[in-house]
Structure 1
Amino acid sequence: MTSEDWQAVQWDSGCGDGLFITIMYHGKRFHVSLLPPSSPDTIEGPLISKFDSMDDEDEDETLAIQEEIEIIVYEAGRSIWTQLAPPLPDGPELSDLHSLLYPETFSFRLITNNGKAELIPQEIEKAHYHDRFGMKIVNDMGLPQYSSKDIRVLQTLVGQGYIAQVSVEGKEMCCKSGDDAFWRGIEREFDCLRKVARSHLANSIRVPQLLGLVTSVETGMIIGILEEYIPTGVLSDLRELEDEDMEASTERRKKWGAQVRETLDLLHEIGVIWGDGKPHNVLIHEETDDAWVIDFGGSYTEGWVDEELMETLEGDEQAVGTILKFLNV
């Protein structure tokens, strides 16, 4: 791409429905739709077909097709991006969580006009899902609540602020929020961590501690959770975590494997199922070198847990086994 600040953050497509791209540029959000054309002699028609027919398992093909579409969209809207989203005065530095979750948003449709791609403005729903509804979370733990406007984002970790390292009243935390598609997982995570916090094993299980709740600045409804931030690297980055001393690395891998096994045993003792066990959801604390289990949003990942074992005790056991094999211990 010709602009480092221009980023396609989400791709959506339905068979025959078209292609929908969400783009972030200088803190503004743009929705660009490519709809099935009435005439076959268009630019968007072949792009939609190519995207719908690509092999999702072929990462190189996927990236190549997405880049081809991005270049066409960027070139078609070059003047639009510059006019509606000028460079930020202080650069791309992040500010509050609310601005990240709810940036000023514009909607366009890509069409073919005289053989060239062109963007035309579209109506957009101004109300946000978050503004009308809240998560199904009951604050019976007396957790402090913070407005999304009062939470300063230090670093986005997943999505457009869906998981982020934040600062709340001067303390670093991990924030999980996002749109309604993520809410079910966040609600499940809250329930799991709440059960840990209320158990007799709360001080023995290496999982993040719940620290607070995020509320909508408009309605006061709960739209996210705040939990302990673990300064670390993920277990899936094994080569970066290991020392040059192979013998020491073997001992460390044995320790991490034993700690994951111990954590799962303790979780199961209090009736908590991990749900999506894999190395990417194990963090190695940079200060203590201990393995922490994270992400209780549920679901499964192919190659680590079978779909039919999703969110079950058997699925957790399978995950531990595959993680130990990954660690070669």
Structure 2
Amino acid sequence: MEFDKNRDPLESAKVIEVLTRGELDDDATVSVRFNGRRFNIQLSPNFFQNSPETTTLYLKYLQAIHPIGPGEFEGIRDTDVCKWIIDLFKNLFVQLAPEPLPSFDPEKIRSGEAKPLLSEYLFPETFGCRLEAVNEMSIPRHVDSCGGLMTPRTYLDDDLLDAMEDWTCFVDPSEIEVDFQNPEDALDQIPRRVRVDLDGSGHMTTCFFKGFETGVGDCPMSEEIKAYGKIHNANFGPDVRVGRLYGVAHDESSDTTLGLLLAYIDHRTTLVYAVKDDTPLAMKQKWARQIEDTLNELHRVGVIWGDAKAGNVIIDNENNVVITDFEGGYTNGWVDAEKAGTVEGDLQGLQNIMAFLFQHNPDDT
């Protein structure tokens, strides 16, 4: 499929993040990716002069796009708000970023002319903008060329970093190739499939990139790394159906960790969507056995699954399960809050997974 250089800008502009300062604050920053650049757009009633209608509308929109909200408010969907923001700023987007950068250009990626790197997606050219209003007239404004937000990264404890050097590798994001299966995804997707030279041999290994949120010290990602360290040291065979950590994306210049490089799993779906009314009983029994046996092995080496639920069970292309996500936490309906992070909580989650498998209702999620 040929890439249309004359496409509507709205087709590739995408809201990738919404940040607020809390439930009692009316300010927000909406980040939009367009043609390989990031636009951090500040929104606040303080920027609206003599514009009560605009202020009222904005406050409703804020409820709809709030990151911890339900994605809707008084019939207004978060997608409606995203479209409103993009429509207001689209001329500014085109002015500041008229063409895709080579590493974001689907045709250049498809032909091999461009070989995008993870660093280009994590540290893009960024513009700071804000929405102003005067007498009910909306005014999109470009205010700076830095954007004011930091790329999500985690500052891990020195002891953990030292321990990791014994069993995994650190790779700078400028040395990690992005591997989009569909080059059109380069315009509006965050890379997940990447290729890495893990041992300096020149052989590129396909990995799944799991990016970090901003954190310091003993954060959820620290717990996930520790879990993968125990999994590595256990030297499990292939019958233990669990993901493997191959390395971490680490920015040496700031000594910060940007994400995990996990074994890439060619997968079909998660257990949530794999189980159907006509799924053969033998297949359900196979999945149940693999999940239970794997969880027993994890507990044997001191690994807690934590967020044990059907959504964290991948079904690969060979119809085998893979247990994923060891950063902790829990999901209501699968594990009780007071049992989260314990073997008891894992076993409760396992029991609920078995119930989901064998008492499946098509409406269950």
TM range (shorter): 0.7 to 0.9
Q: CA deviation at 1:305?
A: 1.9
Moved more, 317-326 or 54-63: 54-63
- Correspondent of 1:177 among 206, 211, 229: 211
SS in 2 for 1:208: coil
Where does residue 16 of structure 1 map in the other structure? 25
Pick aligned residue for 1:255 from 283, 286, 309: 286
Residue of structure 2 aligned with 1:197, choices 221, 232, 237: 232
Which residue, out of 138, 144, 166, partners 2:194? 166
Q: Which whole-Å deviations, capped at 9, do the CAs of 1:114-163 have from their partners, x for residues lacking one?
A: 422112233546684678x743342242423321011112248xx964x7
Cα distance, 1:179 vs structure 2: 3.8
In structure 1, runs of 5+ residues without a counterpart are: none
CA contact (8 A) 2:155 2:216 kept: no
Out of 22-31 and 298-307, give the one that drifted further. Answer: 298-307
| Structure 2 gap ranges (5+) | 1-7, 110-114, 198-203, 360-365
Q: Does the 8 A contact of 2:274 with 2:315 survive in 1?
A: no
- State yes or no: 1:109 paired with 2:130: yes
Deviations 1:235-275, CA, capped at 9 Å, x for gaps: 12225xx6x9x4x6221111111211111111111111001
**Alpha-carbon distance between aligned partners in 2 of 1:74 and 1:130, rounded to the nearest angstrom:** 23
Aligned to 1:119: 140
Query: Are the aligned partners of 1:16 and 1:36 in contact in 2 as well (CA < 8 Å)?
Result: no
| Equivalence for 1:275 | 306
Alpha carbons 1:43, 1:111 under 8 Å: kept: no
Q: Distance in 1 between matches of 2:156 and 2:303?
A: 21
| Correspondence for 2:271 among 218, 235, 255 | 235
Q: Secondary structure at the match of 2:302?
A: coil
* Residue equivalent to 2:57: 46
The letter for the 2-side match of 1:325 is: A
| 2:170 pairs with one of 138, 145, 152 | 145
Amino acid at match of 2:141: I
RMSD of equivalent CA atoms: 3.3
Q: 1:82 to 1:228 in 2, by over 3 A?
A: same
2:356 alignment counterpart: 326
Identity of aligned residues (%): 24
Per mean C-alpha deviation after superposition, the further-off stretch among 96-105 and 108-117 is: 108-117
Equivalent in the alignment of 2:36: 27
How many pairs align?
320
Deviations 1:151-203 (A, max 9, x none): 112248xx964x71111132111122334159823222110011121126466
Q: 1:44 to 1:32 in 2, by over 3 A?
A: farther
Residue identity matched to 1:216: D
Are residues 101 and 53 of structure 1, via their aligned partners in 2, closer, same or farther at CA, if it must alter by over 3 Å? closer
**In the alignment, what sits opposite 1:265?**
296
Task: Say if 1:83 and 1:40 are closer, same or farther in 2 by CA, change over 3 A.
Answer: closer
Q: Say yes or no: does 1:71 pair with 2:99.
A: no
Asked whether the 8 Å contact 1:134–1:223 carries over to 2, the reply is no
Amino acid at match of 2:258: I
Is 2:344 the partner of 1:292? no
Q: Structure 1: which amino acid aligns with 2:37?
A: K
Rounded to whole Å, the distance in 2 between the matches of 1:299 and 1:318 is: 14
Partners of 2:307 and 2:329 within 8 A in 1: yes
Matched, 1:84 2:102: no
